[in-house]
Amino acid sequence: MLPLDGIRILDMSRLLPGPFASMILADFGAEVIKVEEPGLADYSRWAPPFYGSLGVYFSNVNRNKKSVTLNLKSDEGRTIFRRLAADADVVLETFRPGVVERLGVSYEDLRKDNPRLVYCSLSGYGQDGPYRDYAGHDLNIQGLGGILSFINRGEGHPIVPGLPIADYAGSLWTVIAISMALQAREKTGVGQYIDVSILDCIISLLCRDSMFHFGGTEPTDSSFYGEAPRFNVYETADGKYVTLSALEAKFWVNLCRKLGREDLINANERNEDRLTSHKANREEIFAFLRGVFKTKTCDEWVRELAAADVPCYPVLSIADVFRDPHVLHRKMLQEVEHPTEGPIKQIGIPVKLNGTPGEIRSAPPGLGAHNHDVYGAMGITPERQEALRAAGII
């Protein structure tokens, strides 16, 4: 048994934030029916690189799902969707605010026939407020959410991060919100509407970094932003890099003793002093550490400092991550058999429930691969399905 067995989700989302969220729910047993526009579909299907004809990006966030095609701009398409929603537990959509109302598939439209429906709208800025109609992507939202003001601060200016942090924050909060709404439904017997703003989600990640602002100071002298020698990245003799995180006093002491620099130990250091950037002699310490780390290879430093109980580990490439013995042991690289492309790689399931663990059960679906099954279960005959297909409705 999986935790979400018996939960049916109609997923109208595409690209990353919505599909990543619905995939997590599918991994734990939900029946996710991906509702795609005929022909165009989820754009990520057509994004390179490919496993043969299957987009790898699409593959990475759409396993364990079914796919049906449906034209929601047609009257009959909307009728079919409303029939599907009458038996669904969850609807997930990522259109701009107002679109589902114009299509006639909003929460208010659907809950009349299904008061137990949980309906989640995931958007950049939420369903209300001055920015509700703004267009935007992850980078815009990271900027508005304050994240870019301190990421890689050492460069002297905001830079583009390599990870869509805002999108992922929106995905994960969507999973939490839907799970909580389903749990609430168990108690109340009725569903509810969920408004997830990706901007709100990324602001929620500022619980640590807002402490300076809330405390009436600015983070001008902090280890968190690349200004502290004891919490930084260093190049090694072989041109690789290690991360040093000797924040707590015990780790800093271990490092200094290992490197023969006991003079850098502050015997009166308190726990909160781990936030310091050693302003008085920062450049001297930086120069020493940059020099000493270049005297040995990455593997040598990791091995020696781990033995000395110093948190110092390699900066891995993505290729190295999926060769790492710990990552493989934790089953964070898996394979699933695709009907036309053979075995394809998948990122594993990060949380391990010992009683009801998630599982990768099926490869990402072909466009409309489940039209026959899903529409047939509704009583739409194969002949009628063919007529709807020819008319561009499915």
In order along its 394 residues, the chain shows pLDDT tens digits of: 899 999 999 999 999 999 999 999 999 999 999 999 999 899 999 999 999 999 999 999 999 999 999 999 999 999 999 999 999 999 999 999 999 999 999 999 999 999 999 999 999 999 999 999 999 899 999 999 999 887 765 566 888 988 999 999 999 999 999 999 999 999 999 999 999 999 999 999 999 888 888 988 765 555 667 788 999 999 999 999 999 999 888 999 999 999 999 999 887 776 656 556 677 788 999 999 999 999 999 999 999 999 999 999 999 999 999 999 999 999 999 999 999 999 999 999 999 999 999 999 999 999 999 999 999 999 999 999 999 999 999 9
Q: Which of 127, 209, 205 is nearest to 167 (CA)?
A: 205
CA distance 157 to 301: 31
Question: In whole angstroms, how far apart are CA 256 and each of 87, 121, 276, 304, 310?
Answer: 64, 52, 16, 13, 10
Quote the pTM value: 0.94
186-218 b/e with 16+ CB inside 10 Å = b?
Answer: eeeeebbbbbbbbbbbbbebeeebeebeeeeee
Q: 3-state DSSP call for residue 187?
A: helix
Given a contact cutoff of 8 angstroms between Cβ atoms, the answer to whether 163 and 138 are in contact is no
Is the four-CA dihedral 274, 279, 280, 282 of positive or negative sign? positive
Active-site residue set: 167
Measured CA to CA, the distance from residue 88 to residue 117 in angstroms comes to 7
Which secondary structure element, helix H or strand E, spans residue 33, and what is its range? strand 31-36
C-alpha distance from residue 50 to each of 23, 56, 332, 334 (Å)? 20, 5, 21, 18
Phi-psi region of 344 (alpha: psi -120 to 50; beta: other; left: phi over 0): beta
- Partner residues linked to 245 by β-bridges: 231
d(C-alpha 308, C-alpha 37), whole Å: 57
Place of tokens 């369903």: 127
- Residue 19's nearest CA partner among 132, 142, 134, 168 is 168
* H-state helical runs in 112-210: 138-144, 165-188, 198-204
Closest CA to 81 of 23, 14, 10, 13: 10
Please give the Cα distance from 109 to 100 (Å, whole number): 9
Q: What are phi and psi of 283, to 5 degrees?
A: -65, -35
| Tokens found for residue 15 | 């690209």
CA 235 – CA 101 distance, rounded (Å): 54
Whether 321 contacts 327, CB under 8 Å:
yes
pLDDT of residue 220: 55
Look at residue 227 in the predicted model and tell me its pLDDT: 81
Domains in the chain with CATH codes: 8-206+331-390 (3.40.50.10540), 241-314 (3.30.1540.10)
Interior angle at CA 70, CA 66 and CA 72, nearest 5: 130
Q: How many Å separate Cα 327 from the centre of its chain?
A: 18
Residue 365, classed as helix, strand or coil, is coil
> Distance of CA 155 to CAs 37, 142, 151, 226, 283, Å?
43, 17, 9, 9, 16
